Structure 1
Amino acid sequence: MDLQGRDLIFRIHAVERMFERDISVEDVRRVLLEGAVIEGYPEDTPFPSCLIFGWC
């Protein structure tokens, strides 16, 4: 996945949880780049989603 130079867009709920759990945008970017997809949810709406496992 090529995320360099791309903006990530977060929903308010995600930003609230990131703040509560001291998770930075760079932590999220690193897991997206280096983590492993555990399960995909292609039928989720409005967009497909997945569960990703990764360490920071």
Structure 2
Amino acid sequence: MAKGKLSEEVKTLIVQSLACFDAPSIVVEAVRKEFGETITRQFNALLSASTFTLANV
């Protein structure tokens, strides 16, 4: 994966998980298991459901 490029599916999973108040470590693990991609907990912690609009996901 190119640095800084997340697929729409990964973005959707992150936003949905954070909207359900899942811990960043849980979201990181879910992305790794479901998509085989690695994101850091620090990156994930910067994101919130308000970061993305419905047009982006």
Which structure dedicates a bigger proportion of its chain to helix? 2
Higher relative contact order (CA 8 A, sep 6+): 2
Answer 1 or 2: which has greater strand percent: 1
Same fold (TM over 0.5): no
Rg comparison, structure with higher value: 1
TM-score normalised by structure 1 residue count: 0.31
